[in-house]
């Protein structure tokens, strides 16, 4: 990769101002295969200055100019889908099938959604004699994670470009290569100099100075709740807008009139997608207490059908988790579940049989879990499912809402009953009877899962300020 140890600032690939690098590790082999530069506060200063200068002109571009730009980006991105998928698979461990069919395509979907929203968005409207005007918020700092990297990059960059903002992106240092490819795509598509800037680095070296920078008007962060708190603290003295999509511990309520075998089998597979490394994964499965043993047997059978393995092998269901740190944390939490008395149905500590190298985790199911256990409270971020029993619908809702998080929720059962339960769940979105994601719907959470929304028209609005011009039509 040509620009692997450079940054993209002011429309050019430039050398870092510091000299440190960090290795990028293939989680299936545990071996580094390249390295990227680690940025510093000075690199952030240069990128923010470029974005601030570019904002003066880019913020005044027309809707038609930005639509044409997005069309060019979509065209170039589409031509590099295979390369993007292969890169994501190698640096964060997603099976190639998932990387091709979901990881890389998610970025394209967000670009297309932003283009569709822009085409019809009402930037001005009268309110009596006052004119309400929606204007770009300014220079945006973007900090993105490793688990769905292009999804999170594109769902921030696309609406920012569409609304006339400029930006500085700090992708995860664990999986940074897809972001370099993304910058190459924007460069080839002709994004004006300084509108998009990329600085690689870690939280201390780049994330903190970007969040605190006085010339950054907004920070959009996706990652852990712990890191999100630090971003908000760094941003507070400059009173900038902060949008956060953080952790989750989503409840999945299986009502007693659902087909347990069909629904549990489907949802165990869904939970294990991306090796369980999704903030909205349905990791707390709530089942009728009287049918706990039946539900546990079905869940264990489904988990045994999930095949961990080399991301490049066709038969692989899930790849490794992203890093040694992540692997170690998951192992600790599995041990904690056993120690606190949850019943281990399948999986458990250690690597799957035959996989001695790589950060592979055994698909794991715990049953007879109480909602006060550590494995029911903390986000594990691995293929680990907990089954919690409930007595009736009210009890299921109580348990579902007994969490500091509120990112997502899931309900399966007869339609009217499932809809009624969904309305009572305190989360940013709820999936009914296996419904998948909707790129036009807002994505974000309640409580410790963050604030603000991404995706679709509501995500678009996060990048806009509202001005009232009074007496405009007097």
Which token pair is 64? 């038609």
* Of 200, 238, 216, 206, the residue nearest 160 (C-alpha): 216
Please pick, among 140, 184, 279, 454, the residue that the annotation labels catalytic: 279
CA distances to 28, 52, 86, 254, 350 from 181, in Å: 22, 23, 11, 41, 35
Cβ-contact 31, 90 below 8 angstroms:
no
In CATH, which of 3.40.309.10, 1.10.10.10, 2.40.50.180, 3.30.300.30 is domain 251-438? 3.40.309.10
| Active-site residue flag, 245 | yes
- DSSP 8-state assignment for residue 443: B
Which token pair is 301? 């059978």
Domain boundaries, the chain: 7-246+449-469, 251-438
| Active-site residue flag, 86 | no
Contact residues for 95 (Cβ-Cβ < 8 A; gap 6+): 89, 311, 313, 316, 317, 318, 319
Residue 85: pLDDT band (50, 70, 90) is: very high
The pLDDT assigned to 474 comes to: 85
At 102-115, the pLDDT tens digits run: 999 999 999 999 99
Q: What is the mean pLDDT of the chain?
A: 97
Residue 19 has pLDDT above 90, yes or no: no
* Of 392, 314, 318, the residue nearest 351 (C-alpha): 318
CA–CA dist 29, 290 (Å, integer): 44
3-state SS class at 274: helix
Cβ-contact 279, 227 below 8 angstroms:
no
The pLDDT assigned to 332 comes to: 98
Percent of the chain with pLDDT over 70: 100
CA distances to 24, 26, 94, 95, 178 from 86, in Å: 14, 12, 9, 9, 9
The pLDDT assigned to 261 comes to: 98
CA–CA dist 396, 134 (Å, integer): 42
CA–CA dist 172, 451 (Å, integer): 21
Cβ-contact 141, 167 below 8 angstroms:
yes
| Residue 252 Cα to chain centre, angstroms | 19
Task: Write down the pTM of the prediction.
Answer: 0.97
| Averaged pLDDT, 230-235 | 97
Superfamily of chain region 7-246+449-469: Aldehyde Dehydrogenase; Chain A, domain 1 (3.40.605.10)
Cβ-contact 267, 386 below 8 angstroms:
no
- The three-point CA angle 286-290-292 to 5° equals 50
At 150-186, the pLDDT tens digits run: 999 999 999 999 999 999 999 999 999 999 999 999 9
* Of 250, 240, 233, 274, the residue nearest 452 (C-alpha): 240
User: CB neighbours (10 Å) of residue 469?
Assistant: 14
Which token pair is 383? 């293929």
* The length of the chain, given as a count of residues: 474
């Amino acid at each position: 990769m040509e620009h692997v140890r450079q940054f993209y600032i002011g429309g050019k690939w430039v050398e870092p101002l510091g000299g440190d690098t960090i290795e990028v590790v293939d989680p299936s082999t545990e071996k580094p295969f390249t390295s990227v530069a680690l940025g510093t506060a000075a690199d952030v200063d240069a990128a923010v200055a470029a974005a601030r200068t570019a904002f003066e002109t880019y913020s005044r571009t027309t809707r038609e100019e930005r639509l044409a730009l997005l069309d060019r980006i979509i065209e170039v991105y589409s031509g590099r889908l295979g390369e993007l998928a292969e890169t994501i698979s190698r640096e964060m461990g997603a099976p190639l099938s998932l990387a091709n069919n979901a990881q890389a395509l998610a970025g394209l979907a967000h670009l297309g959604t932003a283009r569709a929203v822009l085409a019809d968005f009402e930037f001005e409207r009268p309110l009596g004699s006052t004119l309400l005007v929606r204007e770009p918020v300014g220079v945006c700092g973007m900090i993105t994670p490793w688990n769905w990297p292009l999804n999170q990059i594109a769902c921030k960059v696309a609406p920012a470009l569409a609304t006339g903002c400029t930006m500085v992106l700090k992708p995860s240092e664990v999986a940074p290569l897809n972001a370099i490819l993304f910058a190459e795509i924007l460069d080839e598509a002709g994004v004006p100099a300084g509108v998009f800037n990329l600085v690689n680095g870690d939280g201390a070296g780049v994330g903190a100075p970007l969040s605190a920078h006085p010339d950054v008007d907004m920070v959009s962060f996706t990652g852990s709740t712990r890191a999100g708190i630090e971003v908000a603290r760094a941003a507070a003295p400059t009173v900038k807008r902060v949008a956060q999509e953080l952790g989750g511990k989503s409840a999945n309520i299986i009502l007693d009139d659902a087909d347990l075998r069909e629904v549990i089998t489907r949802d165990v597979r869904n939970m294990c997608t991306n090796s369980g490394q999704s903030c909205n994964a349905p990791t707390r499965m709530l089942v009728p207490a009287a049918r706990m043993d039946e539900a546990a047997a079905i869940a264990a059978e489904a988990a045994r059908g999930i095949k961990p393995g080399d991301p490049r092998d066709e038969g692989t269901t899930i790849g490794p988790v992203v890093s040694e740190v992540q692997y170690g944390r998951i192992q600790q939490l599995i041990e904690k579940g056993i120690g606190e008395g949850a019943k281990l149905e399948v999986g458990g500590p250690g690597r799957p049989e035959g996989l001695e190298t790589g950060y592979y985790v055994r698909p794991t199911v715990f049953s007879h879990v109480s909602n006060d256990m550590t494995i029911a409270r903390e986000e594990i971020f691995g293929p680990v499912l907990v089954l919690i029993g409930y007595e009736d619908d009210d009890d299921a809702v109580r348990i579902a809402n007994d969490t500091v998080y509120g990112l997502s929720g899931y309900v399966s059962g007869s339609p009217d009953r499932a809809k009624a339960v969904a309305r009572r769940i305190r989360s940013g979105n709820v999936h009914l009877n296996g419904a998948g994601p909707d790129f036009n719907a807002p994505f974000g959470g309640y409580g410790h899962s963050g604030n603000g929304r991404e995706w679709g028209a509501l995500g678009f609005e996060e990048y806009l300020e509202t001005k009232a011009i009074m007496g405009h039509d007097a």
